[in-house]
Amino acid sequence: MSLLTPGLPAYETAMRSSTAELVTALREVLGAKIVAYLGSVGETRAVRQWAEGQRHPSALVERRLRLAFQVAGLLAERDDARVIQSWFQGMNPQLGDDSPARILRDEDLDIAGPRVLAAARSFAAVG
């Protein structure tokens, strides 16, 4: 964990990873169903195909998945996959009692991204 900037390693990995690497790692932490939800696809087969490089998500979905990976990586500095999955799916009081996954999927990323990152930083700090 970076003492100066929590979440910096996750940010760097999110930006430097190929799409297939990113989806594979995100699937390991969040599970295929949450990744499919974030990717606005109805089945986990698409997630598997993204991870195997057989198919590519749209630019918007890839951007959303990179942000989700950054958030998951920040949370992973303190918590395990079970807690991270619950955090992504649960009603979050800092996000108007919406789930972070729904906000990332449905709202404008330029607005939603900073809100979800702030909520994740707050959660990680309280730990």
Is residue 98 a part of any domain in this protein? yes
pLDDT tens for each residue of 9-19: 999 999 999 99
- 10 contacts 69 by C-beta, under 8 angstroms: yes
Is residue 3 a part of any domain in this protein? no
Is residue 88 a part of any domain in this protein? yes
Residue 78 predicted with pLDDT over 80: yes
Q: Which residues of 105-126 are buried (b: 16+ CB within 10 A; e: fewer)?
A: beeebeebbebbbebbeebbee
Task: Give the count of domains, the chain.
Answer: 1
Averaged over 99-121, what is the pLDDT?
Answer: 97
Determine the Cα–Cα distance for residues 71 and 69; give it in Å rounded to an integer: 5
Is residue 112 a part of any domain in this protein? yes
| Full residue range of the structural domain in which residue 98 is found | 8-126
pTM: 0.93
pLDDT, averaged across the chain:
95
